[in-house]
Amino acid sequence: MNNELFICSATKGKKEDTLLWQTKDHSLEVFFKEGNKDSLQQVYNKAIDFAIKENLDHIVLCHDDIILENFDYEKLKTHFETYDVLGVAGASQIKIQEPALWHLMGGGFQGGNLHGAVAHLNKGKKSMTAFGPYPHQALIMDGVFLAISRKAFKKIRFAEDCPAGFHFYDLAYTLDASLAGLKCGVIDAYITHASPGLREYTDDWKAGQAWFFERYADYADKIVRV
């Protein structure tokens, strides 16, 4: 295992069935939590515990349905000279309101507060969603890909009291990091995501949104920016 970097992903099935495993560079070590029934908050906090125990410098936490296109750890390390938490999509300013989706709270594509780009895979074809200019500091970031420095993961943990095990973990983590004075940054790490994103407001997602609003009640309906 790389003594500087730990990459972790959770999957409900076997790692061999995931897009991440099938497409990753053979030399790239990725730990998969297979047959996962835990929340991402629990899985990722265990990854943090492992990284602290092993005295690792950085962790990457990502979805299992992505392609890490031309993954370059050396390039990530140059971004860590500026930022404490790295992502591929996020917003530098938000208004905490319904619906609590990062890009909508950021004002949508016309607001000028969105940053990053992610390719999406549909029926074997890729298309790019460009959110806005990057590299750029962000207040909150999407959890499809997060790279976290030791400085950040020793200070900020994922909120396991969130009732939505696969939603809001990312927004809460990056917002907590930003509010704690750490720097989140959207960078030029190219990934392809096989999911189009949230398709419906499920009961699980709605419970997570209610939790999110309660957690950040002091900022409700206010503009929050980096």
pLDDT by residue for the chain (226 residues), tens only, comes to 567 999 999 999 999 999 999 999 999 999 999 999 999 999 999 999 999 999 999 999 999 999 999 999 999 999 999 999 999 999 999 999 999 999 999 999 988 999 999 999 988 899 999 999 999 999 999 999 999 999 999 999 999 999 999 999 999 999 999 999 999 999 999 999 998 777 789 999 999 999 999 999 999 989 999 9
Identify the helix (H) or strand (E) that includes residue 106: none
Contact 90, 178 (CB under 8 A): no
How many whole angstroms separate alpha carbon 107 and alpha carbon 114?
8
133 three-class SS: coil
State residue 9 phi and psi, 5-degree precision: -145, 150
How many whole angstroms separate alpha carbon 97 and alpha carbon 224?
11
10 three-class SS: strand
pTM attached to this predicted model: 0.96
How many whole angstroms separate alpha carbon 139 and alpha carbon 92?
5
In eight-state DSSP terms, residue 15 is: G
Query: What is the reported pLDDT for 111?
Result: 83
* Half-sphere exposure of residue 41: CA atoms within 13 angstroms, side-chain side: 20
Please give, one letter per residue, the 3-state secondary structure of 107-126: CCCCCCCEEEEEEEEECCEE
175 three-class SS: helix
| Helices 169-179, 40-53: crossing angle, 10 deg rounding | 50
Question: Among candidates 187, 192, 204, which has minimal Cα distance to 64?
Answer: 192
Query: What is the reported pLDDT for 1?
Result: 52
Note the residue count of the chain. 226
Which class for 137: exposed (0-12), middle (13-18), buried (19 or more C-beta within 10 A)?
middle
